[in-house]
Amino acid sequence: MSEFFALALGCGTRNRNEEWLETWYPAPVLHPDDALLNAVREHLDYEGGNVVLELSHRQVGQLARDWRKADHEDQAAWAVAFQESRRPVVLTLLEGDADPVSTPEAYLKLQLISHRLVRPHDTRLQGIFPLLPNVAWTSEGAVDLDELPERQLLARLEGRVLEVNSVDKFPRMTDYVVPSGVRIANTARVRLGAYIGEGTTVMHEGFVNFNAGTEGPGMIEGRISAGVMVGRGSDIGGGASTMGTLSGGGNIIISVGEDCLLGANSGLGIPLGDRCTLEAGLYLTSGTKVKVLDENGETVDTVKARELAGQNDLLFRRNSLTGAVECVTNKAAVTLNEELHKHN
């Protein structure tokens, strides 16, 4: 019998048509044990599968009592808190890691990544976009776009201003999850579903998309596109960009190895190995013609950049006289400034 994938208790927002806009799960559980699941089976008549169950206050209380008896104090405490919720309370159960088919399932998958319970690419997200409604993210939470003018009017009549921070399918990660040991200068630039590893600094112009992120520690001053994972000790320089699966990378999974540097305003379209450097201003795509130089600076071969994908200790640069892209052994591996990356 395969291991149960995930369980999460949360609350969410629906519009007037009873359609889900979002769901928050403060403490999702990956691979829950029988003690958690047995209470669900007993009180909710759960018989298996991937389901979203809306709970009454009585059912939430029953789960809280049984989970406490089973020494799951943390989950019991959240259940007690949700008994006072004015928002719909849901229990999302994912028996297997299948593609999400509902908004609460999609939100659970994204939060599993941001809670660092699963890594990018380690859970199925196919078909997620139609499940994420485009909503107004406001100072009062998610608001259906058709209902926004009325909500703004009501706020004004009450002497308030309903601030609209963005209109998007994805909310800010930090409105749902704040991982330990990180610095994020502009929280609007890190989407829910990002994986931000311990010791990561995301500067004001840094951006991290969903299903992407960093192992940490690292300095992110550029763009980490969807699907891209950056290894330990690597820096993404100011204005630098990684080509994700949604921005032209196709089915190629772009990644950055450990102790790498993407110089300012550079671009990456191939997977990098460890201890690699991409010169500032150089955009390297898989089809870029690269001259491979030996230790004496002599050209030994000319290849497409994709043939160097994943190799370690490489420096990619542009010859300032000829404009040719060159690759040499990187003899000065990046060493991060330890003081700069401290978060305490």
Sign of CA dihedral 15, 18, 19, 24: positive
Whole-angstrom distance between the N-terminal and C-terminal Cα of the chain?
44
Strands (E), 171-264: 183-184, 194-196, 200-202, 207-208, 212-214, 218-220, 223-224, 229-230, 234-236, 241-242, 255-256, 261-262
18 token code pair: 């009873």
Residue 319 is which amino acid?
N
DSSP reduced 3-state for 66: helix
When computed from its CA atoms, the radius of gyration of the chain, rounded to whole angstroms, is 23
Residue 221 annotated to the active site: yes
Backbone angles phi, psi at 314, to 5 degrees: -115, 145
Answer left, alpha or beta for residue 73, where phi above 0 means left and psi between -120 and 50 means alpha.
alpha
Q: Which of 22, 105, 215, 221 is catalytic?
A: 221
317: enclosing H helix or E strand = strand 314-318
Residues annotated as catalytic (active site), given as ranges: 221
